[in-house]
Amino acid sequence: MSRIPLRNLRLRPGEEHRETLRLRLEPLVLGGAAYAPTPAETTADVVVQRAASGDVFRLALSIRLDGPCMRCLAPASVDVDVVAQEYEATDPTADAELRSEYVVDGELDVDAWARDQVALALPDQILCRPDCAGLCPVCGKDLNAEPHEHPEVAADPRWAALERLELE
């Protein structure tokens, strides 16, 4: 686990501490599919800057995730660049908005922060290619490799009354 002990930094307001950490991120599970970081270890640049009323944390890292395409299940990869910032007030009575959930017992949990920021930086869909056609909803074949159409199935006669309403 990568943690930075904030009490040991002894920074004055305006001073900052820079550190490059090696992080080992666990695979992310999205919709039941695992997306593993490649390589498993990456480096992250962390800056802790002391302000008059608290600490400002900055995080920068780049990582690649490999897993299945969300449309056709073929192998897919996505590159994720993270640039994030957090704030932790020194006043223990400060509002929850001014406290960081990643600071626990005077230590900054960089692993948890990096994992959450990678998850937030992901695109809506991880695809094998931008124009992925996906799988056929009728037979399940890969429409990228074998584009096809199925003849239209005759509607169930019990729904005929609803079809007439729709046309009116």
Helix count and strand count (H, E) for the chain: 2, 9
Identify the pLDDT of residue 1.
66
128 confidence band (pLDDT: 50, 70, 90): very high
Domain ranges of the chain: 3-133
pTM: 0.81
Mean pLDDT of the chain: 90
Per-residue pLDDT averaged across 138-162, rounded? 85
For residue 39, whether the previous peptide bond is cis, meaning omega lies within 30 degrees of 0, is yes
**Of residues 126 and 161, which shows the higher confidence score?**
126
Per-residue pLDDT averaged across 43-60, rounded? 94
Identify the pLDDT of residue 95.
86
Query: Which residues are CB-neighbours of 29 under 8 A, at least 6 positions away?
Result: 35
Identify the pLDDT of residue 76.
97
